[in-house]
Amino acid sequence: METYRSAFLQSLENPEDFWREQARSIDWFKFPETVLSRDDRGNHCWFADGEMNTAYLALDYHIDQGRGDDIALIHDSPVTGTISHFTFSRLRDEVARFAGVLRSLGVHKGDRVVIYLPMIPEAVIGMLACARIGAIHSVVFGGFAAKELAGRIDDAKPRVLLTASCGIEFTTVIPYKPLVDEALAIASHQVENCVIVQRPQCVAELGLADHDWRQVMAGAVPADCVKLAATDPLYILYTSGTTGKPKGVVRDNGGHAVALRYSMEAIYGARSGDTFWAASDVGWVVGHSYIVYGPLLAGCTTILFEGKPVRTPDAGTFWRVLEDHRVNIFFTAPTAFRAIRKEDPEGELLKGRELSDFRTLFVAGERTDLPTYQWLCDLLQVPVVDHWWQTETGWAIAANPMGIDPQKSKAGSVSLPMPGFDVRILSENHQQPGPGEEGDVVVRLPLPPGCLPTVWGDHDRYLDSYLTQHPGFFHTGDGGYFDQDGYLFIMGRTDDVINVAGHRLSTGELEEVVASHPAVAECAVIGIEDRDKGQIPIGILLLKDGVNITKNTLQQEVVAIVRRDIGAFANFKRLVVVSRLPKTRSGKILRQAMRKIADGMNFEIPATIDDPAILDEIRDELISDKIGFISESKI
Ligand code: COA
Ligand code: AMP
């Protein structure tokens, strides 16, 4: 039997042999002779002369193997009270027809299509239809406000936009059409056509450039899979960086398919025919990799869940889905379990459920706190695997390889680097500290297949964001350490990215929005620890001279602006007004210093701060009961 250790060592010592072998697990149109090479920008790339099609591998391939009548996708939607099943054949036929619709709207290989949809089958169909004809999709999370959608439209410059008449949050119907219209009005790029899924909960009025999904599908001519180079882009997924402008992470076709196929077996232990459920959103990388592509590439049934872990209808929803669909492998963010545990601490709602098919639980997206980890282990009696990755990598950098050689787990750790990822800890001056000592978590180049080759339209930003801090290494933005047994511990971001309920946000972006309030002279946004959401953003504001506004009004107005310009999911609810912000002599706000105060760490005032009394004031505000740890104290 292959051991984790031998696979890991081979992947680093002889990456070409290792990944050539893994590449055999997918059905190429042309098997790549070149495994690892460099493109004309000097970038590493995988399988450069291979030809394939990701949608073919996800659907047609399984039908060719005689699995057309097996279930590929289950849409389980407690918010609409419906459950629907799609066989591989039905899903392929719908994807092929929708690919024909895109063709008829002038979408060709390399064109972009923005997808702004709730968790409905059309989101998966739209993604795979793009993949079928070589168009590049860019899915935008449905919780993003119009302005955020507009920014992504301007960057990706799509020919077509796919949306729905509404999304449903618990019992609230959220009309999408006004948001989309506003985004299109803000954006300077002109989108030629919009295709809209009309939902019965709220029917949208269509404009001249709008098409009703059902109507265009009725007359569609199915389109075949096109042959693509492995290095052709499959999608762009925007993620928060340190500045206000999100980064368009690009994913290629070939490396992505090989890496996901490998991860499904080696990490998740998934076999063809298994049922795999990732309770996330198609708008995030987890949704791309493990709701849509990974499970389908591996011939599994995937579940698209349109609901929440609580109140849809109660905190037993997850257990109901696990039982009803005989889920084998389940993956979600720890924040979801914190929400369940809060409502059902004793796990009463799990009792009596028949979960004998359930093998392993995987969590990722943020740190798992020890009480939640322990609660899950005790309650579920299956292995609970915390694993660490990010939008940039597309699959797990560190995990427990449950499919090849399960290792003992260690609470608080994300286990071991996965084959292909040569993870190191480096100090600021590029030294490797010893076991237990924290530093930047980096990955020695080349990154394995599946990881981003560039940032859409801005290769310099790719180099600046990831490759310049430690030459020869990819900078993950996370801090952490290895223990003496080689287990990795991730301690959190070292940059201005925060993680709110498993949602990645940039404090820089929040600051731009908060500073747009007319009373605000300057502001800093930092993430503070929160019992339920992991982290929560808090604004520290300096007001303009002579402004006359009460703190309550200010708070309500700033909160409303953030909800309007970014989205409610940012959970921006509290702010602190101060008389000065701590700055360096050159005028840079000392966010890290404030973050340390907020973390309640033992903080020594740096000599560069001009007025230490300000820090005391902020410290008092931040850690006093008035602000406290604030998840209950909504305004
Ligand atoms: N569309 C519109 N609004 C949305 C939204 C969406 N897709 N998602 C969240 N919101 C809104 C919520 O309705 C809520 O609004 P409110 O302030 O008016 O009540 C607000 O944003 C806060 O949302 P959130 O913090 O997400 O809380 P929640 O109760 O809606 O959901 C979880 C809790 C745990 C289910 C959710 O945060 C979650 O699924 N997190 C995991 C994210 C993830 O999958 N990350 C990937 C790593 S696995
Ligand atoms: P995203 O790109 O949205 O998937 O967010 C990636 C970031 O989430 C990482 O850089 C980490 O900061 C954090 N993260 C993801 N998984 C974990 C984990 N298992 N433990 C700790 N942090 C995590």
pTM above 0.85, yes or no: yes
CA 499 to ligand 1 centroid distance, Å: 12
Measured on CA atoms in the order 204, 210, 211, 213, is the torsion positive or negative?
negative
In this prediction, residue 179 carries a pLDDT of 97
State mean pLDDT over 104-110. Answer: 98
Structure tokens at 358: 């359930």
| Mutate which of 141, 247, 249, 367 for ligand 2 pocket (most atoms within 8 A of beta carbon) | 367
Q: Are strands 520-530 and 503-506 parallel, antiparallel or unpaired?
A: unpaired
> What is the Cβ-side half-sphere exposure of residue 313, based on CA atoms within 13 angstroms?
2
In angstroms, rounded to a whole number, what is the distance separating the alpha carbons of residues 271 and 329? 10
- Nearest listed ligand to the Cα of residue 386: 2
- Nearest listed ligand to the Cα of residue 332: 1
In angstroms, rounded to a whole number, what is the distance separating the alpha carbons of residues 130 and 100? 10
Structure tokens at 60: 């047609």
Report the pocket of ligand 2 as residue ranges, CB < 6 Å. 239, 284-285, 364-367, 386-388, 390-391, 414, 476-478, 490, 493, 499, 504
pLDDT digit string (tens) for 596-632?
666 654 433 333 333 445 555 555 655 443 333 333 3
pLDDT confidence tier of residue 455, bands split at 50, 70 and 90: very high
pLDDT confidence tier of residue 530, bands split at 50, 70 and 90: confident
State mean pLDDT over 115-120. Answer: 98
Count, in order, helices (H) and strands (E) of the chain. Answer: 20, 31
CA angle (368 as vertex; 441, 337 as ends), nearest 5: 150
In this prediction, residue 583 carries a pLDDT of 75
Helix axes 370-380, 334-343, angle to 10 degrees: 70
Q: Which atom of ligand 1 is nearest to the CA of 533?
A: 25
pLDDT at 283 exceeding the cut of 80: yes
Nearest CA to ligand 1 atom 10: 569
CA 498 to ligand 2 centroid distance, Å: 10
CA 525 to ligand 1 centroid distance, Å: 20
- Nearest listed ligand to the Cα of residue 312: 1
Of 419, 403, 402, 400, nearest in space to 488 by CA: 400
For residues 580 and 478, the model is more confident at 478
Which amino acid does the sequence have at 49?
A: D
Which residues have a Cβ under 8 Å from the Cβ of 587 and sit 6 or more positions away?
none
The span from the first CA to the last CA of the chain, in angstroms, equals 57
Q: Which atom of ligand 1 is nearest to the CA of 569?
A: 21
Name which of 17-26, 116-125, 354-363, 571-580 the model is least confident about: 571-580
CA 587 to ligand 2 centroid distance, Å: 31
Residue 390 Cβ < 6 Å to ligand 1: no
In this prediction, residue 591 carries a pLDDT of 77
CA 250 to ligand 2 centroid distance, Å: 18
In this prediction, residue 617 carries a pLDDT of 57
Which amino acid does the sequence have at 212?
A: D
Residue 197 Cβ < 6 Å to ligand 1: no
Residue 308 Cβ < 6 Å to ligand 1: yes
Residue 333 Cβ < 6 Å to ligand 1: yes
Of 30, 437, 502, 44, nearest in space to 278 by CA: 502
Beta-carbon count within 10 A of 89 CB? 17
pLDDT digit string (tens) for 216-274?
999 999 999 999 999 999 999 999 987 778 999 999 999 999 999 999 999 999 999 99
Of 444, 403, 438, nearest in space to 421 by CA: 444
CA 426 to ligand 2 centroid distance, Å: 19
pLDDT digit string (tens) for 463-522?
999 999 999 999 999 999 999 999 999 999 999 899 999 999 999 999 999 999 999 999
pLDDT digit string (tens) for 291-311?
999 999 999 999 999 999 999
In this prediction, residue 434 carries a pLDDT of 95
CA 159 to ligand 2 centroid distance, Å: 32
In this prediction, residue 606 carries a pLDDT of 35
